[in-house]
């Protein structure tokens, strides 16, 4: 796979697929610029070479054509500020409007196309739509790893129609950092898996069992394991149809010599609320009417000690309902442990929206090795799946 470093963009129009699927408030203002900032190095390289840039992205899930709330025009003020120049906007992503806007582009200028998903052909991976997009640039650059697991027109099909194609720095970094773990990291290797459901991460967990020494299970998914072992979980989250699967994973871990670590204790609440009554109970003893919303102090200690002894760490998913301040202590403890281990020389990969949000909210983004913006794409890559957007750049 070629990267932007192998191209000189002087006099060229770079057609760059970015992931600008950013959150907007009710005033259509961007509330998190992480994805916008992530692609700045790629865009800077192209502009420094003397090239021009045509940006294309999706935003949200428009149902049947253009909707103002999903227009990419709302992010123009943020792009102007971040790039330090005025970014032009085309009110369509194909056809005469887009083609005329591209034709006017001079070296050093940037154009943003309207939302790709205003056309259903984008998500369908339509060949004719991809070919129309391909006419808007000389070199195709994919810097949208977060959409690489989708065989959409702008991520997988368009590459067929472009003579020159490459990965941007975000795409390159996501793959390089994921491979540090998947190709066998420096031991001991620890994966910390949280979140609500085993079913969302079963394939990742199974794939990791051949690569890790320790597998820490926290968050909502841990209650399915506890119930499978015969424990009482009250009204905690549980996938009752996955109890056998949980036991099977524990057996596989044991057979492979992986230390599967579950919480020792739980912070429970009588209501799903930040102001609920709480108490700490040992694993498997949650009374009826109560639910687990965070890992307890003994679990925080055990998990943190395991992480701090590790040389390679993957963290995906929170330890509790971290959006409630009173139930964020477990997630914060993991973040602190990952930061500490990294400072001692460990490699740490933070994957998944909630884990990334926790790290960034605590101001630890620069204190860990890599914070992925890939979300579902990173998980599928770690499941061992071929990602269409990555494969398109390799062919």
One domain, residues 83 and 201: no
Confidence class for position 64, pLDDT limits 50, 70, 90? confident
Say which of 197, 235, 252, 301 is annotated catalytic. Answer: 197
- Report pLDDT for 6: 97
**161-179: average pLDDT:** 95
Would you call 209 helix, strand, or coil by DSSP?
Answer: coil
- 231-284 tens-digit pLDDT: 999 999 999 999 999 999 999 999 999 999 999 999 999 999 999 999 999 999
d(CA 320, CA 112): 39
Q: In sequence order, what are the beta bridge partners of 292?
A: 268
Question: Got the DSSP string for 310-353?
Answer: -SEEEEES-SS-TTSGGG-HHHHHHHHHHHHHHHTT-EEEE-SH
Same domain, 143 and 235: no
Same domain, 29 and 116: yes
Residue 395's pLDDT is 78
Instruction: Say if residue 117's pLDDT is above 90.
Output: yes
**pTM of structure:** 0.87
| Residue 197 binned pLDDT confidence (cut-offs 50, 70, 90) | confident
Say whether both 295 and 231 belong to one domain. yes
353 annotated active-site: yes
Same domain, 223 and 126: no
Give me the percent of the chain exceeding a pLDDT of 70: 99
Per DSSP, the residues of 65-132 read S--GGG-GGGGHHHHHHHHTSPPEEES-SSHHHHHHHHHT--TT-EEEE--GGGSHHHHHT-HHHHHH
Given the residues 220, 234, 353, 389, select the one marked as catalytic. Answer: 353
Mean pLDDT over 111-115 rounds to 98
pLDDT of residue 44: 98
Strands 265-269 and 291-295, bridge-based pairing:
antiparallel
Is residue 160 among the annotated active site residues?
Answer: no
Range 79-93 average pLDDT = 98
Q: In sequence order, what are the beta bridge partners of 395?
A: none
Q: Assess whether 35 carries a catalytic annotation.
A: yes
User: In this structure, are residues 228 and 241 in contact, taking their beta carbons and an 8 Å threshold?
Assistant: no
pLDDT at 357: 80
Residue 191 banded pLDDT, cuts 50, 70, 90: very high
Q: Would residue 185 show up in a list of annotated catalytic residues for this protein?
A: no
Q: How confident is the model at residue 356 (pLDDT cuts 50, 70, 90)?
A: confident
Query: Do residue 256 and residue 291 come from a single domain?
Result: yes
Of 12, 13, 17, 35, which is the active-site residue? 35
Is 327 within 8 Å of 272 (Cβ atoms)?
no
Into how many domains does the chain fold?
2
Residue 175's pLDDT is 92
Q: Which residues pair with 113 in a beta bridge?
A: 90
**Enclosing domain of residue 274:** 184-382
The pLDDT > 90 percentage for the chain reads 84
Does one domain contain both 213 and 345? yes
């Amino acid at each position: 796979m070629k990267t932007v470093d192998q191209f000189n963009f002087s006099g060229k129009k770079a057609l760059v697929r970015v992931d600008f699927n950013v959150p907007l408030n009710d005033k259509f203002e961007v509330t998190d610029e992480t994805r916008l900032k992530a692609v700045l190095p790629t865009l800077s390289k192209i502009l420094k070479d003397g090239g021009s840039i045509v940006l294309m992205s999706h935003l949200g899930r428009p149902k049947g054509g253009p909707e103002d709330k999903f227009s990419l025009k709302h992010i123009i003020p943020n792009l102007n500020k971040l790039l330090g120049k005025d970014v032009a906007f085309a009110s369509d992503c194909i056809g005469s409007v887009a083609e005329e806007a591209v034709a006017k582009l001079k070296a050093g200028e940037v154009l943003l196309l309207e939302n790709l998903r205003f056309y259903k052909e984008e998500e369908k991976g339509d060949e004719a739509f991809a070919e129309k997009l391909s006419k808007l640039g000389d070199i195709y650059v994919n810097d949208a790893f977060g959409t690489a697991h989708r065989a959409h027109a702008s991520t997988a099909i368009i590459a067929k129609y472009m003579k020159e194609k490459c990965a941007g720095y975000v795409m390159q970094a996501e793959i390089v950092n994921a491979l540090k773990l998947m190709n066998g990291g420096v031991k001991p290797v620890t994966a910390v898996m949280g979140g609500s459901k085993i079913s969302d991460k079963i394939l990742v967990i199974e794939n990791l069992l051949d690569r890790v020494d320790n597998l820490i299970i926290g968050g909502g998914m841990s209650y399915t394991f506890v119930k499978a072992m015969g424990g009482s979980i009250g009204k905690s989250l549980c996938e009752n149809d996955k109890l056998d699967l949980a036991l099977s994973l524990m057996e596989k871990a044991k057979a492979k010599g992986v230390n599967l670590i579950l919480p020792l204790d739980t912070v429970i609440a009588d209501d799903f609320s930040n102001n609920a009554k709480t108490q700490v109970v040992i694993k498997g003893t949650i009374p009826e009417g109560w639910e687990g919303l965070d890992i307890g102090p003994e679990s925080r200690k055990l998990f943190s000690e395991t992480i701090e002894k590790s040389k390679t760490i993957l963290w995906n998913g929170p330890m509790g309902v971290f959006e409630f301040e009173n139930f964020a202590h477990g997630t914060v403890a993991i973040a602190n442990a990952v930061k500490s281990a990294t400072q001692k020389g460990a490699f740490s990969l933070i994957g998944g929206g909630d884990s990334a949000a926790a790290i960034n909210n605590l101001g630890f983004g620069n204190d860990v090795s890599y914070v992925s913006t890939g979300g579902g794409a990173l998980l599928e890559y770690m499941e061992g799946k071929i990602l269409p957007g990555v494969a398109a750049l390799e062919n």
